[in-house]
């Protein structure tokens, strides 16, 4: 897992920053090393624990006040992931041109069927979800499979607006639910 943090320059004593992985009850699992090439951007890379956890950031401001920030949500390990792999037309929706969206579902748990749900996009540009993508997809353990969707922008008044396509996959036996959003900008077609 890669995590990037931003700190406003001149507000935080950068030497004091500490990032911790903590249990849901607040017990420290381990400290993470933060790396920075400037005094604003910080990054860390780590293998997440197998149990639910939170991230805790501590430090002091330039005026000497201490602070502690705890992630709002519990981060839970999952056995599946959905990725936005590819979109023809460089993640744009040229007006009156079909754009092909490719999502990838990867399963790291036991082999299972995933129910695929394509959330209705607010601009109604989804033209078609391939027939094979409309029925549950079998994904073997440690394997990935593709889901294909076609979209087409049809209204000139939507030029330069962004449409969001959301694909949700639910494991029928494990109950795991994963999703991915793909944002597409409506543009004028070439030529």
State pLDDT tens for residues 84-142.
999 998 889 999 999 999 999 999 999 999 999 998 888 888 776 666 667 899 999 99
Q: Is 25 exposed, middle or buried (0-12, 13-18, 19+ CB in 10 A)?
A: exposed
| Mean pLDDT within 20-31 | 95
- pTM, two decimal places: 0.65
Written as six digits, the tokens of 56 are 């805790």
Can you tell me the distance from the alpha carbon of 67 to that of 64, in angstroms, rounded to the nearest whole number? 10
In sequence order, what DSSP letters do the residues of 13-57 get, joined into one string?
-GGG-EEEEE-TTS-EEEEE--B-SSSSEEEEE-PPPSS-BEEEE
Say how many C-beta atoms besides its own lie within 10 A of residue 154's C-beta.
13
The helix/strand/coil state of 86 is strand
pLDDT at 133: 61
Strands across the sheet containing 177-187: 92-94, 177-187, 162-171, 112-119, 137-139
Domains, the chain, with CATH or none: 2-70 (2.60.40), 80-187 (2.60.40.10)
pLDDT at 41: 78
Give bridge partners of residue 170 from the DSSP assignment. Answer: 115, 177
The band of 155, judged by pLDDT with boundaries at 50, 70 and 90, is very high
């Amino acid at each position: 897992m890669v995590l990037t943090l931003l700190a406003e320059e001149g507000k935080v004593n950068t030497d004091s920053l500490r990032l911790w992985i903590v249990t849901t009850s607040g017990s420290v699992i381990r400290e993470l090393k933060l790396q920075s090439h400037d005094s604003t951007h910080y990054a860390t890379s780590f293998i997440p624990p197998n149990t639910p956890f939170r991230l805790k950031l501590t430090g002091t401001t330039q005026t000497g006040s201490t602070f502690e920030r705890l992630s709002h949500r519990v981060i839970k390990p999952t056995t599946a992931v959905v990725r936005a792999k590819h979109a023809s037309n460089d993640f744009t929706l040229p007006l009156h041109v079909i754009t092909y969206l490719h999502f990838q579902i990867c399963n790291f748990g036991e082999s299972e069927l995933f129910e695929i749900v394509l959330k209705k996009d607010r601009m109604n540009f989804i033209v078609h979800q391939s027939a094979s993508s409309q029925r549950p997809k079998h994904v073997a353990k440690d394997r990935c499979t593709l889901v294909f969707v076609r979209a087409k922008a049809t209204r000139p008044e939507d030029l330069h607006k962004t449409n969001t396509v959301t694909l949700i996959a639910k494991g029928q036996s494990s109950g795991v639910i994963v999703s991915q959003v793909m944002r597409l900008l409506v543009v004028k077609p070439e030529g």
